[in-house]
Amino acid sequence: DAGVIQSPRHEVTEMGQEVTLRCKPISGHNSLFWYRQTMMRGLELLIYFNNNVPIDDSGMPEDRFSAKMPNASFSTLKIQPSEPRDSAVYFCASSLRSSTDTQYFGPGTRLTVL
């Protein structure tokens, strides 16, 4: 298996633009997680899905952020409009079930908002 796949790996955009990050979880995994990592705040959970259904989005910073999982093999995280404070590395992770299973992280998308 190729592991969790994220695209793009790097994104540079201007303030106010829409940004869409993409994730393909490991085949057969039922849970998907979106995280954001910054030096100041560390690794923070934004939202997670179980069987394509959003379970907890309490970590989503504000209404500018939205996430979807239309099927078991694809998820998106959208920021509209983007702001410089959104600059961070965004990770997607998947696990077999939502319980105590290991989470497998993707390589991340480094987002820079100018």
Partner 1 sequence: SQKIEQNSEALNIQEGKTATLTCNYTNYSPAYLQWYRQDPGRGPVFLLLIRENEKEKRKERLKVTFDTTLKQSLFHITASQPADSATYLCALDNGSGNTGKLIFGQGTTLQVKP
The residues with which 43 forms a beta bridge, in sequence order, are 37
Residue 103 lies near partner 1 (rule: CB under 8 A)? yes
Residue with tokens 């990770």: 91
15 versus 43: smaller Cβ distance to partner 1: 43
16 versus 42: smaller Cβ distance to partner 1: 42
> Rule CB under 8 A: which of 39-58 touch partner 1?
42-45, 48, 50, 55-56
Residue 25 lies near partner 1 (rule: CB under 8 A)? no
- The CB-of-8 to partner 1 minimum distance in angstroms stands at 14
Task: Provide DSSP, 72-110.
Answer: TTEEEEEESS--GGG-EEEEEEEESSSSSPPPEE---EE
Distance CA 62, CA 45 (A): 14
54 versus 81: smaller Cβ distance to partner 1: 54
